[in-house]
Structure 1
Amino acid sequence: MELKNLKNKLQDIVNESSGQISLAFSSNEGDILINEHLKMKAASVIKLPILIESFRLAEEKKLDLNKAIHIENQKKVAGTGVIYYMTESNVYSYRNLLELMMIVSDNTASNIALKTVGMDRVNQLSVILNCQNTKIERNFMDTEAIANGFENSTTAFDMLQYLKLVGEPNKIINNESRQEMLSILSKQQFNQKLPGYNYSDSGVSFYNKTGELPGFEHDISLIKKNDKTVYVAVLSNGWTDNFSGKKKLAEIGKEIINYM
């Protein structure tokens, strides 16, 4: 499939959607941008910048990824993840927390990681990357902050820049850190969105992070086949039921799989 055909198919999916979809796609053949600067609640895709900042802090020798972290019960929060629901399992390495943050989107692990690196550092990374519409203002599952108007926000275009930071050599994060982050992303357990139509012998591999809130469905991913890599970020909202959003993102992923 040629890029222009993919663009037409993705545009049709967006046009026919009952929800609002923003999409940013990049390959060595060109980009596809649809409502790419539409600002939305970030949900858990904002955890990718937290992951990157954690590795940057480790590169600066200010964070030991193997340090054991003891989690007091009052620090645990519900929602996605497993730590909140585990019995007598309160000690993890910081690296384990990063893995849980990304692989099962654990909110307790995410809050500890965010506190460790600090909101200011995560937001400064957005400034460095010129991601003007991305900002983190609250912890995960912080209902009081939400009630007071604090929210984490981003755009599909901005998320594409973070994906490229992981996928391509750059001066911000070293190659060793990038490879470890890719390894973590490859173990994603939530695969019903962009990778939903992927099959075991397709040769296509996804390195993704999802996010969702009531009415919101997001997925951002590096996608590889052989020596070909593409990047895609899809944010969406306005779903009366989230399952419809998941199906629509899977349709987008199906066309990208065909393109690969």
Structure 2
Amino acid sequence: AHLCLLKEYTGYRNLTIDVLTSAPKPGFNVEKFAENVTIHKVAVHKKNLHFWRKTEVIEWLLKAWPHYRRMVRKNNYDLVHAFFGFPTGWLCYRTANKLPYIISLRGSDVPGYNIRLGLDYKLMAGLFRRIWSSAAAVVANSKGLRQLAQKFMPDLDISIIPNGIDTEKFLPSEKQGLTKPIHALTVCRLISRKRLDLLISAVARARELGLNIQLNIAGEGNLMEPLKGLADELNVADSVIFLARVPAERMPQLYR
């Protein structure tokens, strides 16, 4: 989502964008994405590119704060856009008295989304409320995420901007109709929130009803092995294919 947004920004020459993000390689690196877009990367000792440990979040905050503060002092920014209410939203909150910011809620930054973070949500609830309420706007990427966020802050006005799609890359196949077997696809992180256990159980039920179906699961997560075990237990291991992480350039063809 962020990459597509940056590509869209490159077409607006009246915009100058600086991105402060993380990177697994050492040091602080600056890359020119386009004439009007510069990416500043703060090194973090990550073990898994698709999973953030708490120590990694703290490390990024400690390293990113001085860079963020320097960038704000040096440049005459009009607005800051924080992807995630935390940790990035915390940086913006620290400069809210002089620089307005927008928060994009993405998932695990919303209390109640990730069961693994239950205690963290309780401990940081006060800080989250201050960060959200100080923002010029708070935006969720789906109706469901907004509903969850409003359980946490019922009086907060939260807009919805869904994730976009590149319609030049993601085109439907010319061939229409159901194949045999029926090919189903889900693309997500393998976490409890996604309820892939129900999807695998549905495949088992479909098989019982005589449907020839194959479920392809693209993505990684801490439930990979338990979900494989469930497929074995339900005797549908041959009908549930775990593809793990699929490179972005292969995704359009996978969807087709």
Mark yes or no: TM-score above 0.5. no
Q: TM-score, normalised by structure 2?
A: 0.26
Choose 1 or 2 for highest CA Rg. Answer: 2
Which structure has more RCO (C-alpha within 8 Å, separation ≥ 6)?
Answer: 1
Q: TM-score, normalised by structure 1?
A: 0.26
